[in-house]
Amino acid sequence: MKLTGKQIKAKLEAIVKKYNNDSSMLVPILQDTQTEIGYLPKDAMIELHEMLNVPLTQVYSVATFFKAFNLIPRGRHQIFVCTGTACHVRGSERILETFERELNIKAGESDKDLNFTLGTVNCVGACALGPIVIIDGKYNGEMKIESVKPLIDKYRNTLETERGTQH
């Protein structure tokens, strides 16, 4: 569902109010905006620049500096392959490549139907379970190459079911 400009504005007003219009809270404000909208659309950044009286360049530079922010829409399911050192020495690169092959996208991209976004994360601090993959906030530890496809299929199936109930 795409939000209208009015809806975006209403959401932003609520967020900015929560932080008492405090421009030093720009990072958490952007984080909340992303949680609400799913990403940081250009219109939202312009709105925030006006509401908080912060230069648009600063909003944009903060939004592009930190890894947590996305300026383009993301898929319904978000897959993060941990590429922290502990996961790396246990072969996370091969796990990432398998996801790239299975989804036919590269890390940092989303598929054209916006079902999946594939990304990497530097470390989630669950190093004992490496290599680890986080999907929609759920941790999948001790990943193997052959466990990648069944895992994706699980999410593909739920997408299918959702689609089925909509019709």
Partner 1 sequence: MKRLSSPIELEELRQSIVKSRDPKKTIVSICGGTGCTALGSGEVIKAFREELIKRDLADKIEVKVSGCRGFCQHGALVTIEPQSIFYQRVRTKDVIEIIESTLLKGQTVDRLLYHDPTVTGQFVHEEEVPFYAKQKRLILANSSKIDPKRIEDYIFFGGYGALAKALYNMKPDSIIEEIKASGLRGRGGGGFPTGRKWESTRKAQGDLKYVICNCDEGDPGAFMDRSLMEGNPHSVLEGMIIGAFAIGAQEGYIYVRHEYPLAVENATIALQQAEENGLLGDNILGSGFNFRVKVSRGGGAFVCGESTALMASLEGKVGEPRAKYIHTSDSGLWGRPSNLNNVETWANVPIIINNGAKWFSGIGTADSKGTKIFSLVGKVRNTGLVEVPMGITLREIIFDIGGGIQGNRKFKAVQTGGPSGGCIPEKLLDLPVDFDELTRVGSMMGSGAMIVTDEKNCMVDIAKYYIGFLKGELCGKCLPCREGVKRMNEILTRITEGNGKMEDIDLLEQIAATLTETSLCGLGQSAPNPVVSTLVHFRDEYEAHIKEKRCPAKVCKALITYNISEKCLNCGLCVKACPQGAITPVEKKKPVVLDQSKCIKCGSCLDACKLQMVEVK
Of 88, 107, 115, 135, which one interacts with partner 1 (CB under 8 A)? 88
Binding mask 31-70 for partner 1 (x = CB under 8 A): x----------------------x---x--xx--xxxxx-
Residues in contact with 4: Cβ distance below 8 Å, sequence separation at least 6, in sequence order? none
Pick one of 90, 109, 135, 159: the residue that binds partner 1 (CB under 8 A).
90
Q: Which stretch binds partner 1 (CB under 8 A): 8-16, 38-46, 105-113, 119-127?
A: 119-127
Per CB under 8 A, does 3 bind partner 1? no
Indicate the DSSP class of residue 144. -
Element (H, E) at 163: helix 145-166
Choosing from 45, 118, 132, 152, the residue that interacts with partner 1 (CB under 8 A) is 132
In this structure, which long-range contacts are made by residues 16-19, counting pairs with CB atoms below 8 Å and at least 24 apart in sequence?
16/48, 16/51, 16/52
Contact residues toward partner 1 (CB under 8 A) are: 23-28, 30-31, 54, 58, 61-62, 65-69, 83-86, 88-91, 94, 97-98, 101, 121-130, 132, 137, 139-141, 144-146
